[in-house]
Every structure is written in C-alpha cells, then in structure tokens.
Homo-oligomer: A and B are copies of this chain.
Amino acid sequence: MNDIALSPRLLHEDATERLRDMIVQGELAPGAKLVERVLCERLGVSRTPLREAIKRLASEGLVALQPNRGAIVTPLTLATVRETFEVMGALEALAGQLACRNITAAQLAEIRALHFDMLACHARGDLAGYFRCNQAIHLAIVAASGNATLAATYRTLNAQVRRARYLANLSRGRWDQAVAEHEEILAALAARDGARLQRLLSGHLGAKMTAVLAAVDTGGANDGAYD
C-alpha cells in the first residue's frame, strides 16, 4: 500500500549532511582539524561512515585530506573565494540565459513571490530572512535553467561561498544596491531577455564578490553573501 517508503536513512549520508552543515555554518572553522574520534562522538556514528562522509566532502572541496594526518576544513582564502565567485558568475549567467528559454509560468510566479518575500525582509531589516529568500531566488533561477548538472555544480560551489557569510556582515548600502539589482533581474527574466539577464547576473555576482572580498579582507563587519 504505502509505497512512500521513508528512505531508510543511512548513517554515512546523515553524517555527510551534518558535517557539511557544521562546516558551512562555521561550527568547524576553516583550517580546523577533523579528529575522527571526536566527530564520531558528536555525530553518534562509528568511524567507518564518518570516514566515508569526509571523503565525500573532500570531493566537494569543503575538506582537505592530508595523507596519514587526517583531514582539515578547507581554509577560506581570498583567492579561493574570488575564484569561486568567478565560476559561479559564469554559471549563473548561463543559468539565466537557459532559464529565459525554459522557465515555466509557475516557476516565474514562484520566483516573483520569493522576490516580494525578499522585499518584505529588506523593509523590515530582517537580514537572516533576506538571506534565505535571496538564496532561494538564485537557486530557483538555476533550477529553472532545466540543467541539473549546472544546478548540482552551482550548489557545490555555493557551499563554499556560504561559509563566508559567517565571517562577515552586510553593509546597508550594499544591501540596498543588491535589492535594486534583483528588481532588474526579475524584470529581465519576466521579459525573457536572456542577453540582458546574463549581464545583470554577472554584474550582480561581481558586486557580491567585491563586497565579500572587502569584508573578509578587513576581517570586517560586512557580508556580501547576503546579496
């Protein structure tokens, strides 16, 4: 009858997700050593699934393996953040172009709804909520491209950028600017203007990168990851 089998959660998958979250949220700081015994206790699994999780995260670039010396959380350098933004910019530009061809009315409506949610958060000064909406919009555009490989690649790189969020905050000026950029992005998408959307997304990502780099560089109170 009930074929909606709750997928039998495997320990190593669970461990992978939780460990990834711990890294993205900065609970495990960049450069921190991953001591197997400690993480086993914290996650309540044995070393075998934990080690499998670590190997997966290594392939995602969140963890660096050190032969015979375990693993560390990948350090977040200015160079890698800039590199990641460059690649994500190209991917989002492509996604925008494809989305203009492939997006459905329902998908566009959902993005528009998320856009207004985002405006509401901005008006209230709710930065955390704004961040969630913003992420959802970008992921929705990427999903609307209809290219699953693109979406998967984007998500993997995005994890790297999200880590920066916990190192810096967002200036009011940059925040306002980001919202204005989103207005234009939505308009271009609704008009199915692929070339324009591509330019806007590229510029948007570039500005975001500049903000994040400046924030990270000054060890400062700025977080471009919100826009």
Q: Of the candidates B52, B55, B87, which one forms a contact with A91 in the assembled complex, judged by CB atoms under 8 Å apart?
A: B87
Which among A10, A12, A55, A150 has the highest number of chain B CB atoms within 10 Å? A55
Copies per assembly: 2
Asked whether A58 lies within 8 Å of B61 as measured between CB atoms, the reply is no
In the bound complex, what is the Cα–Cα distance between A7 and B13 (angstroms)?
30
In the bound complex, what is the Cα–Cα distance between A51 and B47 (angstroms)?
13
In the bound complex, what is the Cα–Cα distance between A56 and B93 (angstroms)?
28
Output the least CB separation between A51 and chain B (Å): 6
- 9 residue pairs bridging A and B, Cβ less than 8 Å apart: A10-B67, A13-B67, A51-B52, A55-B59, A56-B56, A61-B149, A87-B91, A87-B94, A149-B157
Chain B residue with the shortest CB-CB distance to A148: B83
Asked whether A55 lies within 8 Å of B149 as measured between CB atoms, the reply is no
Asked whether A153 lies within 8 Å of B150 as measured between CB atoms, the reply is no
In the bound complex, what is the Cα–Cα distance between A221 and B7 (angstroms)?
41
Contact bitstring A123-147, B, C-beta under 8 A = 1, else 0: 0000000000000000000000001
- Interface flag for A36 (CB, 8 Å): no
Report how many residues on chain A are interfacial, defined by Cβ distance under 8 Å.
36
In the bound complex, what is the Cα–Cα distance between A143 and B86 (angstroms)?
14
Cβ < 8 Å to B, chain A residues 157-198 = 157, 160
Asked whether A83 lies within 8 Å of B147 as measured between CB atoms, the reply is yes
Q: Can you add 18 more A-B contacts, CB < 8 Å, to A8-B68, A87-B153, A149-B160?
A: A7-B67, A12-B55, A48-B48, A48-B51, A51-B52, A52-B52, A52-B55, A61-B152, A80-B148, A80-B149, A83-B148, A86-B98, A86-B147, A86-B149, A87-B94, A87-B150, A90-B91, A90-B94
Output the least CB separation between A96 and chain B (Å): 11
- Interface flag for A84 (CB, 8 Å): yes
